[in-house]
Structures are given as C-alpha cells and as structure tokens.
Amino acid sequence: MSGTPSGPEPDHEPTAAARAELVRQIRADGHLGDPRWRAAFQEVPRHLFVPYYFVATPRGYQRLSGSDPDPERRERWLEGVYTDGALATYMRDGELVSTSSQPSLMAMMLEELHVEEAEEAKEAKEAKEAKEAKETGGQPPDTGCRVLEIGTGTGYNAALLSHRLGAGHVTTVDLDEEITGPARDRLAAAGHRPTVVTGDGARGCPERAPYDRIIATCALPAVPSAWIAQSAPGALILAPLATGLIALRVTDPEAVRAEGRFLPTPAYFVPLRTGPAPTAQPPRPEAPEQPGPPAESDGHQRSLRHHLPREALRDDRFQFLRALTANTLTPDEAHTLWRRQNRPHRERFGVTVHGACQYAWLDSPEGPHRWALPGS
C-alpha cells in the first residue's frame, strides 16, 4: 500500500520556523554540533514523513493528520511533529509496528555513527585506488561512506542520512511493503531516492554490501551475524540492545568478529520483526504516545516487588542490567551483581561477537562477568 504525503509543502510557513525551533531544542540538549547534521535537520521536513500519528486523549486515542479539515487539529498535528518526541505512526491488530523516533535521539545516534571518520578513511584508500586505476586504465572506485539502515519506518531517518551522505550511499530495509512503499514516496517527494528494500532486516542487504556503517532503529535480542559479514573492515554498527545502544566496531567481517561498548543513553525501540510479513490491516489508534519499556505480567511484577527493594526497581541502571542478563541471570542474581559492582552505568558494559558466539560483559571482555546473548 503506497501513497503520497499530505500536509503543508516543504517550504510552506510555519514549517520552516518549526524546523528551526526543533533544531534549537536539539542543540540545547547538546547535539547537532556538526553543521552538516544541523543542516540536515534544518532542511529535511519531518512533517512530510509523518502525515499522521496517534495521541492519547481522555476518550481514547486520536488520529492527528496534516490533511484534517479542522484547522485546530491540523495545528496540533504540526506542533506534535516538530516537538522533540517519539510519535506512534503505524499499528496492526493493536500492536505498535512503526514509530517516528525522538529527533534528539536520532541526532545523537547519527552523530555517534561518526560517518566523517569513514569518509576520511575511504578518501585516503580511494585516492590510492584511483591513482592505480588511472595508471592501469581501470575504473576509479566509488567514493563516500555506505550506510545500511535497518528499520525504514517513516523514511525520515533515511532522508537525513541521504542529505548528509547522498542518497546513492544509503540503503534502508523494512519488513513490510505497507511501510516501505509510503516511505519511498515520501523520500522522493522530499528530493531523496535512497535504495529502499522490502525484506527481513536481520538478513541485511547483501546486494549492496559492504557497508561502512550500519544503524538499526529497532530493538534487538542480539546482533545479527549477517550485518557483521556485510560490513567493511573497521565498520561501525550502532543498534538498540537491552534498553541501551551498542556501538560495535567490526574487526573481521569474514570471521564475523566485532566488539564494542554501550553508549550512556537509554533507548527504547519497537522490536525487530523478522520472517514473512503478516497480512496488513488498517492502522488502529491503540498506540502509546511514547514507546517505552515492555510491560511485564502483574504476577511477575508482584514477585519482583516482594523480593527486590524499591530502589532497584526504580533505577534505570538496574533495569538495563536485568534486560541484558535476562538470558542467564535471575532478577535476584542480577540485583546482587548490581549492588556489588556499585550500580554500574551502561557505558561499563559491552558486547563481543566472535562467529556464532556472542556475549555481553561488564568492564572487560576478558573479565569474570560475561553473559551469553540469545541465540549464542
């Protein structure tokens, strides 16, 4: 199902002023120091990629749209689009399938990709290859940092990447044509034509490999080995894992080896969906306004409240440790470790991938505290 975006045109006021105010908010949070990313957020119109979304009201969930005939609701829609918050954008059978992420979190993740490092390394390598090609009469190499995005969603993040790197260097994958079709149309309407692929994100996109950077906008139980195998040596993979963001440096794609630490910030995303897509249903307004941690059963919560102190249950650092070690530690074991290690922050944790083996660790990959991730 594909359609063209609705709402104001890219340069129609007050959207330009709204974009400028959003950039100001993001900069106030300490992001967008790079003028090239700042220009992307300033010039890419988010409203084209979020023609509607759902918000909670006392009477249930309301659909706000840029094509609503009511000017007051249109104004509310535009205000929400350019507020620094996540938006629920697509539902299926009561399940949240796709969102537009919080812009300041998007900015932080894009900055943490360090695409300028990849560009500098490629420029040096390609200058040498271009010289050799000229001497031998061959073709000069393609230039630029190649990025694979897992989770196309609305297409807004792919547009920001295309603005910064050029659409020819951006590949984005999502499971459903009901998502990729409209995203492709919106990207074209905004003047960007990256490669938009309908497929299983866990399998990457080998036809466009190798990649210098891979960024995922969906939560993972573990990092798919296909992503590492499709990376260039030295590539960076940034992905949500266990309510955090892991930044993995690929050391050996052929041997599927990568390692890295978590960033300090918390991050909650819709889980990665794999396999055949179910039959699409029209969007339904049951989505929460802000995606957050997955809910647990009442019985499980009562059990935790009985055994664990309230201090731990309210501490985001402990919730992260619980999510990271859920495959191997009981809540009581996780709490004991958390207290003994002085309530460690996310950046003390990391992940190592070596072939089929994948494990999380505290402080050092060679240290005593290591836990296998699901599927390892």
pLDDT digits (tens, 9 = 90+) for 83-95: 999 998 987 776 7
On the question of pLDDT at 134 being above 70, the answer is no
In the three-class reduction of DSSP (H, G, I as helix; E, B as strand; rest coil), residue 96 is classed as: strand
| Segments forming the whole domain that contains residue 326 | 298-372
Is 27 domain-assigned? Answer: yes
Helix (H) or strand (E) holding 233: strand 231-241
Determine the average pLDDT of the residues in 308-313: 83
Tens of pLDDT, residues 188-221: 999 999 999 999 999 999 999 999 999 999 999 9
Chain CA centroid to CA 37, Å: 16
Number of domains in the chain: 2
Q: For residue 224, name the pLDDT band (cuts at 50, 70, 90).
A: very high
Helix (H) or strand (E) holding 172: strand 170-174
Report the half-sphere exposure of 8 (CA within 13 A, side-chain side): 19
Q: Note the pLDDT of residue 118.
A: 79
Q: For residue 123, name the pLDDT band (cuts at 50, 70, 90).
A: low
Determine the average pLDDT of the residues in 230-234: 97
Based on the residue annotation, tell me whether 376 is a catalytic residue of this protein. no
Token pair, residue 21, equals 């105010």
Is 239 domain-assigned? Answer: no
Average pLDDT, the chain: 85
Is 5 domain-assigned? Answer: no
On the question of pLDDT at 3 being above 80, the answer is no
Q: Note the pLDDT of residue 162.
A: 97
What distance, in Å, lies between the first and last C-alpha atoms of the chain?
A: 37
**Residue 150 and residue 39 share a domain:** yes
Residue where one domain finishes, among candidates 177, 208, 239: 208
Q: Note the pLDDT of residue 294.
A: 44
* Residue type at 66 in one-letter notation: G
Q: Note the pLDDT of residue 335.
A: 93
Adjacency order of strands within the sheet including 211-216: 195-198, 170-174, 147-150, 211-216, 231-241, 244-252, 257-262, 349-354, 357-362, 370-372
Determine the average pLDDT of the residues in 102-108: 96
**Residue 311 and residue 204 share a domain:** no
Tens of pLDDT, residues 150-189: 999 999 999 999 999 999 999 999 999 999 999 999 999 9
Residue where one domain finishes, among candidates 208, 238, 271: 208
Q: Note the pLDDT of residue 39.
A: 96
Alpha helices in the chain (DSSP H): 15-28, 35-43, 46-49, 71-81, 103-112, 115-136, 156-165, 177-189, 225-229, 298-307, 310-313, 316-325, 331-340
**Residue 174 and residue 66 share a domain:** yes
Instruction: For residue 348, give every residue at least 6 positions away whose Cβ sits within 8 Å of its Cβ, in sequence order, or none.
Output: 341, 362, 363
**Residue 141 and residue 24 share a domain:** yes
**Residue 192 and residue 52 share a domain:** yes
Q: Given 6, 98, 100, 101, which residue is catalytic? A: 101
Is 324 domain-assigned? Answer: yes
Tens of pLDDT, residues 28-63: 999 999 999 999 999 999 999 999 998 877 876 788
Is 286 domain-assigned? Answer: no
Q: Note the pLDDT of residue 275.
A: 67
CATH number at residue 54: 3.40.50.150
Is 219 domain-assigned? Answer: no
Q: For residue 127, name the pLDDT band (cuts at 50, 70, 90).
A: low
Is 268 domain-assigned? Answer: no
Tens of pLDDT, residues 254-307: 999 999 999 999 999 988 988 654 333 333 333 333 344 444 444 444 444 447
Residue where one domain finishes, among candidates 208, 237, 267: 208
Beta bridge partners of 211: 231
Is 262 domain-assigned? Answer: no
Determine the average pLDDT of the residues in 125-148: 65
